[in-house]
Structure 1
Amino acid sequence: MSVHQENSAPASSRGTPDPHAESSRKSRLIGVDLARGLAVLGMFIAHIGPLRFDPHAGGAAGVLATLGEGHASILFATLAGVSLALLTGGSVPHAGPDLRSDRVRIAVRAVLLFVLGMALTQLGTPMMVILSFYGLYFLLALPVLRLRPVALAVIAAAWAIASPLISFVVRMPLNTKIIGGTISFGDLTTLPEAGSAALRLVLTGAYPVLTWMPFVLAGLAIGRLDLRSTVVRTRMLGTGVGLAVLGYGGSWLALHVFGGLRALEPTLARLRPLAAKMGSSPLELVQESNFGVVPANNLANLLLSAPHSGTPFEIVGSAGCAIAVLALCLFVGQRLRGVLAPLAAVGALALTAYTLQGVAMKFVLTDAAVPHFGEHPWLPLTGFALVTLVCCWSWRELFGRGPLEWILHGASVGGSRVLVRSRS
């Protein structure tokens, strides 16, 4: 989400031209907004795509689901790291008082995002809200803001390999039956509920901090590079493709060549009757049954690379896809700036778009309405996407920063001024 307005400002100040703001908008990395806009639309596909209303839609619906499921949220997390880097100086990271101010701004935003995420979940919107997890990602990134790109990349790589193994080992004795989910204000009413919520945030939830921080760290490393350099963008694209091949290709080899399927046989055997009824394979059911982490009942589960499986293969492969998408968006951003302005506007207003999507889903996807969407499964996705593109583009042209982005920016800047000044 566009929780950081890197190098951005409104195009005007309520009718009074602001040359500094206009210059800032021109210097903004449009490619980052484009990538974030794609992530928003990917979230729409995951939440209200045609397969949700007609599981047998197939064709284009299946392709879109493959592109959106899991990848959109991981692209968001990676871009969160990029935005953290851009907010704190980009390729020349801030130091001294500026860095202290940046850390306070990020911490304030983290708290606000955490609360907003709980509020959306409390509303009962039919999606797994990522915002509370986002807040924790930002807080955990504060100590490493000054590290160089190579150091950040090494930490991200080591974390990507080690954290799924640690998660698996820690969850084994817990015998956790339910995985996935987020948190709401209702989870803070009792101490046991709060403990369960903390466990979801860190270990068993839809976007657990333990296995999702590599995306943020990788994004932070990328944001410390010169993203306006063609050489850097080319290397990013090559690295992204290489990681995607390594992750997904490595999982395929582990399963189909090195005996992973044999190790999964106890699980596959239990699923064969259900798979036969559904007209799919047992492996497909296994790949589709993850909600943030794999069950800690068979070590071979860590060989999967399915969306939301939280395995080393998925983390590496999905991070590679996110890096490649960002590189492509950076390449086309300036060349097709005018044509892609609506999509870039969605990226610039991503927090607002994501939040309003959640609110709208609550009131549009009612029990009475959902059966009708089965007859027109493309209608919700098409409607949400078109309305979002038009509204975000119009708002961006008229007012610049989005409403929730404006609140987040004002609160964090104000909090920074007060807290940093009080320490000076």
Structure 2
Amino acid sequence: MAVEPPSPPESPRPWSERAAPLTPGGARTGDARPRDAAGPRDAAGAPGTGPATARLVGVDVARALAVLGMFAAHVGPDPHAGGPAAPLAQLTHGRSSALFALLAGVSIALLSGGARPHRGARLGRSAIRIAVRAVLLLPLGMYLTSLGTGVLVILTCYGAYFLLALPLIGLRARALAVCAAVAAVAGPLLSFAVRDATTPEAHAYESDAVMRFEDWSSPAALGDAVWATLVTGSYPALTWMPFVLAGMAVGRLDLRSFGVRAGLLLGGGVCALLGYGTSRVLLYGFGWAERLDELAAGQYVGGGALSPFERAMDYRVGTVPVDDAAWLLVASPHSGTVFEVVGATGTALVVLALCLVAADRLPGALAPLAAVGALALTAYTAHLLAIRVLLGGLGTSAGLLGWPLWWMFALLTVAGCWMWRSTVGRGPLEALLHQVSLAVATLLLPRPAGAAPEGGARPGAAPGGRRPGDPPIG
């Protein structure tokens, strides 16, 4: 769930500054034009590299959809329970968190220079800020896990993804795209091979494999937690880093460009078709689904509309069994196969492209959603606290789950975030991470005398304005 956009020396305001109120069109008082309007090019004419006078509201809208999609996975109905809304529940399952991971990569790219990657000391300061935010996410994620909500909290894994991305923040879009493609293919295959060599039982599975406070009680426990974070857990880095790397490649592009948006839409559609379509053809057109049903029959019982192998994948989060390589043909949510990674990445790219276009056309109508995206970390944390308060020890296994509960969470979140964003600006957790990471970076790598302060506002912005794509945790 970060970071800061590419404008050369300016950066977001200090925490203490308050944002100017939003107008109905989504702009702040004093803005020269709607905040979704295309920003100017820099003196050299390169797109997306100069000071911007508009923000990419579409990025926040996409992030809001990811947050609300995760709400559906946590408090919404069983996606396999049937009913007219079942396809929507199935669409959010697994893909919302993948979209969130991709947008985290976009934010990392923006903080490290956007279309023009930072160099030298400035790149070092960006790296420090990313690292500090990653470290701060760890205790927050472990605290939220300790609430016992039944939700597999992803924040500690996000922190690990940020740290793993640090060596690559100086790369440009093409190199990052190559890294993402290689990781999308090699990561799932390596995960299968490593687990096959190290896991004593083919269907062994850690049902709640995210880092906890107790994992720090001994070196052995911590080692197991790190191994789960990287390979065997619910969100293993081996199969989740492709989303982050793809997002970093996207963040190196000019997201205001029609050509870039069209490319994201077309490329994303192709990836989604290749990932999900190829898997389906192989499974049901060549008989591999029957093979997997035979393998799963002794371990999982099919039910409702699900076959034994589909029930197996519905139960597992993060990995597939290793008793047969045929499991690598599935594209189920959270399966971590090549087909699932490629398909989910494609879906995320399509959603991002559509949100960028929609935000240009309907800035006022989408302003409440954009507010949720701007306060994504706060919204995510608040919904877990609400689950704890409302459902108590029952967690997400309670019988209250369904669309009515999701609507309550969604409407209250949108209203609360919109009010906060319109009156205060940054969310409380977003402001905390921004201030701490900025302070540490300034302490370790002070800016040259006379350089614009990193907490200053950009030219042409309202006193409290944020910059394009300003991320949810800083």
TM value normalised by structure 1: 0.91
Residues 16 and 74 of structure 1: CA distance in aligned 2, closer, same or farther (over 3 Å): closer
2-structure distance, mates of 1:92, 1:410: 24
* Aligned residue number for residue 179 of structure 1: 206
1-structure distance, mates of 2:139, 2:261: 35
* Aligned residue number for residue 60 of structure 2: 33
Match of 2:279 among 245, 251, 265: 251
2-structure distance, mates of 1:8, 1:324: 28
* Aligned residue number for residue 113 of structure 1: 137
Residues 423 and 109 of structure 1: CA distance in aligned 2, closer, same or farther (over 3 Å): farther
* Aligned residue number for residue 291 of structure 1: 317
Once the 2 structures are TM-superposed, how far is the Cα of residue 125 of structure 1 from its aligned partner? 2.8
Once the 2 structures are TM-superposed, how far is the Cα of residue 20 of structure 1 from its aligned partner? 11
* Aligned residue number for residue 387 of structure 1: 412
Residues 48 and 419 of structure 1: CA distance in aligned 2, closer, same or farther (over 3 Å): same
Give the helix-richer structure, 1 or 2: 1
* Aligned residue number for residue 71 of structure 1: 95
2-structure distance, mates of 1:372, 1:104: 42
Residues 48 and 312 of structure 1: CA distance in aligned 2, closer, same or farther (over 3 Å): same
2-structure distance, mates of 1:228, 1:9: 23
Asked whether the 8 Å contact 1:12–1:400 carries over to 2, the reply is no
Q: Which ranges of structure 1 fall in alignment gaps of 5 or more residues?
A: none
Amino acid of the residue matched to residue 367 of structure 2? A
Deviation digits for residues 116-141 of structure 1, max 9, x if unmatched? 11111122232111111111111111
Match of 1:359 among 385, 391, 405: 385
Residues 164 and 372 of structure 1: CA distance in aligned 2, closer, same or farther (over 3 Å): closer
2-structure distance, mates of 1:319, 1:360: 30
Once the 2 structures are TM-superposed, how far is the Cα of residue 412 of structure 1 from its aligned partner? 0.4
Deviation digits for residues 361-390 of structure 1, max 9, x if unmatched? 11111357989854x832211110000000
Moved over 6 A (4+): 368-372
Q: Which ranges of structure 2 fall in alignment gaps of 5 or more residues?
A: 6-10, 22-27, 36-52, 450-474
Matched, 1:339 2:343: no
1:79-90 matched pairs, under 5 angstroms: 79-90=103-114
SS for the counterpart of 1:182 is coil
Residues 33 and 14 of structure 1: CA distance in aligned 2, closer, same or farther (over 3 Å): closer
SS for the counterpart of 2:363 is coil
Matched, 1:414 2:439: yes
Deviation digits for residues 42-65 of structure 1, max 9, x if unmatched? 00000000228xx745221x1222
Once the 2 structures are TM-superposed, how far is the Cα of residue 286 of structure 1 from its aligned partner? 3.1
Once the 2 structures are TM-superposed, how far is the Cα of residue 27 of structure 1 from its aligned partner? 1.7
* Aligned residue number for residue 230 of structure 1: 258
2-structure distance, mates of 1:372, 1:99: 47
1-structure distance, mates of 2:376, 2:90: 22
Identity %, equivalent residues: 48
Amino acid of the residue matched to residue 370 of structure 2? A
1-structure distance, mates of 2:125, 2:84: 50
Residues 28 and 12 of structure 1: CA distance in aligned 2, closer, same or farther (over 3 Å): farther
Computed over aligned residues only, the root mean square deviation of the Cα atoms, in angstroms, reads: 2.8
Match of 1:13 among 8, 12, 17: 17
Matched, 1:169 2:196: no
Amino acid of the residue matched to residue 67 of structure 1? L
* Aligned residue number for residue 378 of structure 1: 403
Amino acid of the residue matched to residue 185 of structure 1? F
* Aligned residue number for residue 128 of structure 1: 152
Q: What number of residue pairs does the alignment pair up? A: 417
